[in-house]
Structure 1
Amino acid sequence: MFRNRWVKSRLTALVCALLVGLVVSPPAASAASGAAPITKPPMGWNSWNSFAGAIDANVIKQQTDALVASGMKDAGYEYVNIDEGWWKGTRDAGGNIVVDTVQWPGGMTAIVDYIHSKGLKAGIYTDAGRNGCGYYYPTGHPAYPGTGSEGHYDQDFLQFSRWGFDYVKVDWCGGNAEGLNARTQYTAISDSIARATAQTGRPMVFSICEWGGQQPWDWAPGISNLWRTSGDIIFWGERPAMSRVLTNFDSAQHASAQSPGHHNDPDMLIAGLPGFSDAQNRTHLSLWAISGAPLIAGNKLTEMTAATRATLTNREMIAIDQDPLGRQGTKVAEDAQGLQVYSKVLSGTGKRAVVLLNRTGSAATITARWSSLGLTGSATVRNVWTATDLGSFASGYSTSVPAGEAVLLTVTGTDGAPTGRQIVGAQSGRCVDVPNGGANGTQAQLWDCNGQPQQAFTYTATKQLTVNGKCLDAYNRGTTNGTQVVVWDCNGQTNQQWNVNSNGTITGVQSALCLDANGQGTTNGTKLILWSCNGQQNQQWTLR
């Protein structure tokens, strides 16, 4: 989490679109990685959104009991995560954490034992820096000193493991304020967790909370289980807002980074907080479920309404989020601005989860076409929130979606033929290729055709050419000769739209320039650019 409003300027709302089915798993965590061997996004509860630093053993016990009594445990919520405020910042002469036994009678082992006695797992919090958020940004929060582990990584994470914790969240307030490099620090923490696990035999889920400023989706999958992609979904003292839910949802659209046990994290849930309606709660959970995001509740479980409980424990929604394929749903259509269709491939044959999201200020009809979902023939549709079978439809399903809300569906039909196609240069005989995992700004190139995912493009109904969860893009919206052709998070802009023409050219919708092998190059590594169409063979392409 982050605590100060100036950090808001770091947020960038990204919307990623990818025709369903093209997902590349990140490198597997190495033997030295601290990532626990989980396969699904974590589900549980965290103390921060409702209690901030005002926590003690009684608060945690009450919420633990309510998690069980509410049916959330039976629905799959298993972690009780103690956030900042648990530690007063004192160390002894040996540098060991000193726990306030008034706040935590019996120490942290006692509260962990209580959580475990309920059949649940326990989570703890620290910061990657020397100090934590309360040290740097105390204004407006209950008084508590900042806490951080920098300089004590091996010592602290071994202590957490010995106390019995199953999950650790590591914040970035200190790392940010102290000018640290996120990848370096979190890799060191991952190594410390791995060493602690080797000593205690207790693996811990590793949650990176870096806020997305240093693009953790590019490096965190190999060292952690989940990584925050944005700032806080709610700031202490504010009321929840759907605009923040949408911003955080957009920030987490990095489908190529996600795989079973490694998840983009758009932050904790605010469902059930005062000021959020039941319809907003359902929309919020629809977006997190289609993303395969962690479901970490943050409301006061002891005061939860029946409607909130029903939303959080909806088994069909949870099954979508927890689907064993571990895919992240992606945007597959936006026929009009703000009227969006997201689809997620589910395990089994011909199964999809679909969200129809209306970002506009008026109710509107949104259509999900089976061709955009990778299905062929007719398909049956079910509304998740109403638990209603809606029938069989020949080519798609349309419904009116209220302003600012979403409809969550499951669709069952017949998988179509694979949609990933190679783009082959007529002059070179080589394929359009996106090297090195395809981070934002990676320039497309020619390479020997090899059938790998970085050469499998999908041409969508909205004229995007998608690969590995990103869109082929005219860099910086360029419209002049020599503009680099790169990949970037899909955003619906015209510099990411392409006409695939019958004469063999591929032209940018915005620029009307041709996709071109630079300098008429034909060798591996030749870069792709935009250039005025001239009829030459280096501007001729075949999709096969």
Structure 2
Amino acid sequence: MVRNRLLMSRLSALVCALLVALTTTLLPLPATAASGAAPITKPPMGWNSWNGFAGAIDATVIKQQTDALVSSGMKDAGYEYVLIDEGWWKGARDSSGAIAPDSAQWPGGMQAIVDYIHGKGLKAGIYTDAGRNGCGYYYPTGHPAYPGTGSEGHYDQDFLQFSRWGFDYVKVDWCGGSAEGLNARDSYTAISDSIARATAQTGRTMVFSVCEWGGQQPWNWAPGIANLWRTSGDIIYWGERPSMSRVLTNFDSAQHASAQSPGHHNDPDMLVAGLTGFSDAQNRTHLSLWAIAGAPLLAGNKLTEMTATTRAALTNREMIAVDQDALGRQGIKVAEDVPGLQVYSKVLSGTGRRAVVLLNRNASAADITVRWSNVGLTGSAAVRDVWTASDLGNFATSYTARVPAGEAVLLTVTGTDGQPTGGQVVGTQSGRCVEVPDGAVNGTQAQLWDCNGQSRQSWTYTTTKQLTVNGKCLDANNRGTTNGTQVVVWDCNGQTNQQWNVNSNGSITGVQSNLCLDANGRATANGTKLVLWACNGQTNQQWTLRS
């Protein structure tokens, strides 16, 4: 929904004093329940009404877009959800507190539109807010500011109603929650419990989409209660033209690989592909990024007005296969040799298979190289361009493509999985080994010590470019990228500050920082701490992995 941050901050200050406790419903439901997340295994695919129509929706609009989802071939390509977003009701409740939709806009009520969607072989989704009022109250778009459009105080009642109507998916926004200063984890956990109680009564599971915008770090708690969680603000505000800058911002904000698994997904927001102002090349770049991230593919364009090239991009089966891969992993950045020229890799199901995105964030075309060592492959590998559907050949150690400014190339690469290597990491200058003390906790800094064969000096270099010891990963502290950043151990989380390139010149460089592993101050004594420093070729930055 459209959210002006300055206005929201002022509203929050005014409304926080009005915070009320969540009330309980009188419905006879169980006191406890399991997580409300539906048992899905892949990121949802479908269409959402907001980007194309904002709050100006009714049964006619939804039926037309449902029909187009089928006739365009999108349903056959895997798009299965029709999501009815903000604006579907005016905040009216009957004497029992139940939602009473406008019968003029929704003839036969909401169950009738669900039946229509189901009749096309598709699934239906609905929208509400965690607070007392939905986003349309604070930012009326396409309708007046109706109060009471949130579910707070009616969680059990509303989610049971959604389930009885037959909805398969529910998106819960945060405008009311934000304005009231609610605790997101508590509120969404209560909602997840309500969904689970509704499922226990009706037998219908619902995909649960947390739309909290990332302010309270949902990737740390939402995987246990929901199927997907927004990691940033809206990708487009109503009335704006889409921008690649916003696409990149949302993509970057969704980089939480350790939170993602089959059926649980970081959500950088719905797609802007096909909206006015986005070129065909930008559509493909946008879809490449969402696919490598394993993000939900929720189209937001007007399907009845879609061009042939937009339809071809949205229904590209190879792109969709990358996004929907059964492993459910999020692709991560594995190289950035030049600032702004980035390589992302996603491990795919099967043997020796990777998806790779070469992303050029800069203002001029450039060559970008993916090295097989960066993506955990060894020997030669076959490369295929997803968007041109062409096999590019076999390449011995790497592949280089010319990437236009602001665009991306999406590849699939098939080779041989590299084997993890293990042993000691020995400093060339000092002759001493890299170690962490026994019993090291998160944040313990790595140091040099006489080589002694102990487990605290036994490192494994994984195919995903991590250096691990005693179950923890070598880590650039606080994701630092400046000279002097401490090199510590931390729980492995898949982020790029825990990825390292072991280079042929003897240096070890951080994937995120491009800085070298360095014995601080060129010291050689036991206890010398390790830091990151600009690469300079000196022997205190030279290392040997010795089995």
- Tell me the TM-score range normalised by the shorter chain: 0.7 to 0.9
Q: Deviations over 1:454-481 (max 9, x none)?
A: x9665988xx868999972244668679
Structure 1 position 92, deviation (Å): 1.8
Contact map agreement 2:420 2:461 (CA 8 A) in 1: no
Contact map agreement 1:423 1:431 (CA 8 A) in 2: no
Which SS does the other structure have where 1:379 is aligned?
strand
Contact map agreement 2:436 2:456 (CA 8 A) in 1: no
Matched residue, 1:376: 378
Which stretch shifts more, 421-430 or 30-39?
Answer: 421-430
CA–CA separation in structure 1 for the residues paired with 2:509 and 2:289: 34
How do 1:264-283 and structure 2 match up within 5 A?
264-283=266-285
Matched residue, 2:306: 304
Structure 1 position 113, deviation (Å): 0.2
Among 107, 110, 116, the residue aligned to 2:109? 107
Write the letter of the residue equivalent to 2:47. W
CA–CA separation in structure 1 for the residues paired with 2:503 and 2:117: 58
CA–CA separation in structure 1 for the residues paired with 2:387 and 2:504: 42
Write the letter of the residue equivalent to 1:380. A
Structure 1 segments unaligned to the other structure (5+ residues): 10-29, 436-441, 515-529
Matched residue, 2:475: 472
Matched residue, 1:3: 3
Identity of aligned residues (%): 71
Q: TM-score, normalised by structure 1?
A: 0.81
Matched residue, 2:146: 145
Among 80, 96, 116, the residue aligned to 1:94? 96
How do 1:505-516 and structure 2 match up within 5 A?
514=519
Contact map agreement 1:228 1:266 (CA 8 A) in 2: yes
CA–CA separation in structure 2 for the residues paired with 1:531 and 1:343: 35
Structure 1 position 153, deviation (Å): 0.6
Which SS does the other structure have where 1:272 is aligned?
coil
Matched residue, 1:335: 337
Contact map agreement 1:290 1:353 (CA 8 A) in 2: yes
Mapped pair 1:243 → 2:233:
no
Q: Deviations over 1:15-59 (max 9, x none)?
A: xxxxxxxxxxxxxxx971011000000000000001000000000
Which SS does the other structure have where 1:93 is aligned?
coil
| Distance change (3 Å), C-alpha of 1:414 and 1:207 | same
Q: Deviations over 1:405-427 (max 9, x none)?
A: 00011111111103688989969
Of structures 1 and 2, the larger Rg is shown by 2
Q: Deviations over 1:89-129 (max 9, x none)?
A: 11122211111111100000000000000000000000001
Contact map agreement 2:82 2:125 (CA 8 A) in 1: yes
Matched residue, 1:347: 349
| Distance change (3 Å), C-alpha of 1:109 and 1:469 | farther
Matched residue, 2:417: 415
Write the letter of the residue equivalent to 1:251. S
Contact map agreement 1:255 1:329 (CA 8 A) in 2: yes
Write the letter of the residue equivalent to 1:536. N
Matched residue, 1:206: 208
Which SS does the other structure have where 1:320 is aligned?
helix
Q: TM-score, normalised by structure 2?
A: 0.81
Which SS does the other structure have where 1:192 is aligned?
helix
Matched residue, 1:18: none
The alignment's C-alpha RMSD in Å is: 3.8
Contact map agreement 1:229 1:265 (CA 8 A) in 2: yes
Contact map agreement 1:169 1:206 (CA 8 A) in 2: yes
Matched residue, 2:526: 536
Contact map agreement 2:420 2:463 (CA 8 A) in 1: no
CA–CA separation in structure 2 for the residues paired with 1:245 and 1:301: 20
Write the letter of the residue equivalent to 1:473. A
Structure 1 position 485, deviation (Å): 3.8
Write the letter of the residue equivalent to 2:162. F
How do 1:319-330 and structure 2 match up within 5 A?
319-330=321-332
Which SS does the other structure have where 2:402 is aligned?
strand
Write the letter of the residue equivalent to 2:475. L
Write the letter of the residue equivalent to 1:46. N
Structure 1 position 490, deviation (Å): 9.0
Write the letter of the residue equivalent to 1:281. N
Structure 1 position 278, deviation (Å): 0.4
Matched residue, 2:41: 39
CA–CA separation in structure 1 for the residues paired with 2:326 and 2:483: 43
Contact map agreement 1:227 1:263 (CA 8 A) in 2: yes
Among 402, 405, 419, the residue aligned to 1:403? 405
Which SS does the other structure have where 2:124 is aligned?
strand
Structure 1 position 143, deviation (Å): 2.9
Which one scores higher on RCO, CA 8 angstroms, separation ≥ 6?
1
Matched residue, 1:519: none
Write the letter of the residue equivalent to 1:325. L
Which SS does the other structure have where 1:403 is aligned?
coil
- Count of residues in correspondence between the two structures: 495
| Distance change (3 Å), C-alpha of 1:480 and 1:471 | closer
| Distance change (3 Å), C-alpha of 1:389 and 1:203 | same
How do 1:14-93 and structure 2 match up within 5 A?
32-93=34-95
Contact map agreement 1:255 1:469 (CA 8 A) in 2: no
| Distance change (3 Å), C-alpha of 1:532 and 1:184 | farther
